[in-house]
Structure 1
Amino acid sequence: MERKHNKQPKLHIKKGDTVKVIAGDDKSTAQRERTGKVLEVFPEKNRAIVEGINMVTKHEKPSAGKPEGGIKKVEAPVHISNLMLIDPASGKPTRVGRKLDDKGKLQRYSKKTGEFIK
């Protein structure tokens, strides 16, 4: 069997998924659950940008378009291993697997409920 060196690995999350942070500084606590929508995924770096998670401060230099400059908060990428998909059907965090559907296409499925995702 030939190896495909340039092929990107399949990831368990996609843009638009709702995820829960399971590790790192933004990990959920008993009082609050840190969840957000995936805005962008970087498969080559195994990272994703999640809405409202891992906020960092960026300093903007004054320019012609924005003469006052300023400080703004933006989301920084989070490693994919620190994120867990929230099942759209049940609303609970679940592990993700891949199996063939009835049409023979490889689809993601929830290991908790066994149902296909999207």
Structure 2
Amino acid sequence: MVDKNAPVRFKMHVKKGDTVQIIAGKEKGKVGEVLKTFPKTSQVLVKGVNIKTKHVKPQQEGESGQITTMEGPIHSSNVMLYSSKQKVASRISYTFDSEGRKVRMLKKTGEILD
């Protein structure tokens, strides 16, 4: 019997440190680096994309409040891996290198990521 409350882990095509381009939404066309991935929800944090502002109340008396900005997560289906050398976004394929390791490769450019 399958536990309905058990976390579901999805295989994501992006990893922390990858350079990605946003392909959908209000931030479409922006390029940034993946700061963090959330495999349970298939979301990623991208540097400089989906900026949220948060109003923070003062903690102590006499202190003033602050407005902080931070990145919000976006769904991994809305990002595509980006080649900085060729300036093009591409899908990925999985291939094997000369030592027999499984690596990620950009389909358009043939660039090896791992």
- TM tier relative to shorter chain: 0.7 to 0.9
Select the residue among 27, 47, 57 that pairs with 2:43: 47
Alignment partner of 1:86 is 2:87: no
What CA distance in whole angstroms lies between the structure 2 residues aligned with 1:37 and 1:18? 4
Give, in angstroms, the shift of residue 61 of structure 1: 1.9
Q: TM-score, normalised by structure 1?
A: 0.79
Q: Partner residue of 1:31?
A: none
Alignment partner of 1:16 is 2:17: yes
List alignment gaps of at least 5 residues for structure 2: 1-5
List alignment gaps of at least 5 residues for structure 1: 29-33
Q: Any conservation in 2 of the 1:88–1:117 contact (CA below 8 Å)?
A: no
Which deviations, in whole Å up to 9, do the C-alpha atoms of 1:28-71 show, x marking residues without a partner?
Answer: 3xxxxx1111111111111111111011111212114x932211
What CA distance in whole angstroms lies between the structure 2 residues aligned with 1:114 and 1:6? 35
Identity %: 40
What CA distance in whole angstroms lies between the structure 2 residues aligned with 1:43 and 1:103? 28
Q: Partner residue of 1:99?
A: 95
Structure 1 residue runs of 4 or more that deviate by more than 6 Å after TM superposition? none
Please provide the CA RMSD for this pair. 2.2
Q: TM-score, normalised by structure 2?
A: 0.82
The size of the alignment, in residue pairs, is 108
Select the residue among 13, 31, 35 that pairs with 1:35: 31
